[in-house]
C-alpha cells in the first residue's frame, strides 16, 4: 500500500512537466518561426515531444498502481520502467530529426541572424526548466520513482539545451549567423545522449540488471545482522523502482523454526528501512 501511495504522489511531477512543456513549446515555436531562429524552433520541437514522453511517464505511473492480479502476481510495477523506455524512443526520434534539420541547414546556410527576442526566450526557458528539474528530482527521490527520475533527467537536459540556444543566438548577433545552426546541431546531440542514457537504465532494469556496488551494500547489511552465520547467496532485481532481493543464509542448527523466522524478519525490516526493499525472499539453512 505504501508503494502505491508513493506512485500516486509521483503523478504530480509528470503533470508539472506536461503543463510546462506545453506552454514552452507554443511560445518557442511561435517566436522561433516569427523571428527566424532555427535553434529556438528545434528547442520548441524538442519540447513538443517532451509532452508525449511526460504523458508516457504519467501513464506508466498510473498502470504501476494497479494491484496484483492472476496474470501479474508481482503487480504492475514494471509499467513504470516501460514508460521510461518509451520516453527514450520518443526523445531519440526528436534528436535525430533535429540533427537532420541542422545538417540540411549546413548545406544551405542562412545569412540572417535571428532576433534577440529569441535569445531572451531561451534564457527564460532555461530558468523555468531548471526549476522543474529540481522539483522533479526531489520528488523522484522522495517517492523512489525510476520513471520520474528519467523525466527529471530530461528536464535538466532541456535546461542545458535552452542555455545553449541562448548562447548560440546571442553569438550570432556578432554577424556569424551560422552559429544558430551549429547550436541546433549541438542540441540534437544532447537530445540523443539523454535518450540513450534513459534507454540504457530502463533496459538494464528490464533485463533484471542490478548494480554490483548496490548489491554489495545490501550484502554488508545482512552480514551484520546478529545470528547470521554466513551469507551463501544473494540476488537482487528491480520491478519498476521496487527492489526485490533473494537471499540464502546460514543460521545455527540449534535454532528452532520460530527463531530462524525471527532472523529473516529482522533482515527484511532492515533492508526495507535502509534501501526501501519492497520484497525479500529469505531461505535459511542450518550451518555445518
Give start-end residues of each CATH 3.30.70.1350 domain in the chain.
212-286
Does residue 1 register a pLDDT over 60? no
Give start-end residues of each CATH 1.20.1510.10 domain in the chain.
2-206
Is pTM, for the whole model, over 0.85? no
pLDDT confidence of residue 31: 92
Output 124 or 9, whichever has higher pLDDT. Answer: 124
Select the CATH number that applies to the domain covering 212-286 from these four: 3.30.70.1350, 3.40.50.300, 3.40.50.720, 3.40.190.10: 3.30.70.1350
Does residue 88 register a pLDDT over 70? yes
Spell out the residues 6+ positions from residue 220 whose beta carbon is closer than 8 angstroms to its own.
none
Say how many C-beta atoms besides its own lie within 10 A of residue 282's C-beta. 19
- Report whether 245 contacts 271 (CB < 8 A): yes
Does residue 160 register a pLDDT over 60? yes
Return d(Cα 2, Cα 59) in angstroms, integer: 19
Does residue 111 register a pLDDT over 80? no
- Report whether 40 contacts 122 (CB < 8 A): yes
167: its cell numbers: 548562447
Return d(Cα 252, Cα 229) in angstroms, integer: 7
Output 22 or 45, whichever has higher pLDDT. Answer: 22
190: its cell numbers: 544532447
Return d(Cα 288, Cα 277) in angstroms, integer: 30
Does residue 110 register a pLDDT over 60? no
137: its cell numbers: 528530482
pLDDT band at 112 (very low <50, low <70, confident <90, very high): low
- Report whether 274 contacts 220 (CB < 8 A): no
- Residues in the chain, total: 288
Task: Indicate the DSSP class of residue 70.
Answer: S
pLDDT confidence of residue 42: 81
Span 2-206: which CATH code?
1.20.1510.10
Average pLDDT over residues 17-26: 94
Amino acid at each position: 500500500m505504501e508503494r502505491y501511495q508513493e506512485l500516486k504522489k509521483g503523478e504530480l511531477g509528470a503533470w508539472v512537466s506536461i503543463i510546462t512543456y506545453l506552454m514552452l513549446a507554443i511560445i518557442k515555436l511561435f517566436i522561433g518561426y516569427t523571428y527566424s531562429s532555427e535553434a529556438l524552433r528545434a528547442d520548441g520541437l524538442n519540447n513538443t515531444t517532451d509532452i508525449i514522453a511526460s504523458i508516457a511517464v504519467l501513464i506508466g505511473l498510473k498502470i504501476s498502481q494497479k494491484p496484483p492480479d492472476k496474470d501479474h502476481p508481482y503487480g504492475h510495477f514494471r509499467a513504470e520502467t516501460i514508460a521510461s523506455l518509451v520516453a527514450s524512443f520518443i526523445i531519440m526520434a526528436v534528436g535525430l530529426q533535429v540533427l537532420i534539420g541542422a545538417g540540411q541547414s549546413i548545406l544551405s546556410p542562412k545569412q540572417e541572424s535571428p532576433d534577440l527576442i529569441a535569445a531572451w526566450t531561451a534564457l527564460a526557458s532555461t530558468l523555468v526548466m531548471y526549476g522543474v528539474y529540481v522539483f522533479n528530482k526531489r520528488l523522484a527521490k522522495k517517492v523512489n520513482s525510476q520513471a520520474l527520475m528519467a523525466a527529471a533527467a530530461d528536464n535538466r537536459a532541456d535546461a542545458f539545451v535552452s542555455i545553449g540556444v541562448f548562447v548560440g543566438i546571442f553569438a550570432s548577433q556578432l554577424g556569424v549567423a551560422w552559429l544558430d545552426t551549429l547550436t541546433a546541431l549541438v542540441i540534437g546531440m544532447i537530445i540523443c545522449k539523454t535518450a540513450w542514457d534513459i534507454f540504457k537504465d530502463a533496459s538494464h532494469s528490464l533485463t533484471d540488471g542490478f548494480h554490483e556496488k548496490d548489491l554489495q551494500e545490501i550484502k554488508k547489511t545482512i552480514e551484520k545482522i546478529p545470528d547470521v552465520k554466513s551469507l551463501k547467496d544473494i540476488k537482487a532485481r528491480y520491478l519498476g523502482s521496487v527492489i526485490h532481493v533473494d537471499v540464502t543464509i546460514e543460521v545455527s542448527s540449534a535454532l528452532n523454526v520460530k527463531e530462524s523466522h525471527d532472523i529473516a524478519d529482522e533482515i527484511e525490516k532492515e533492508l526495507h528501512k535502509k534501501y526501501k526493499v519492497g520484497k525479500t525472499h529469505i531461505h535459511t539453512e542450518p550451518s555445518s
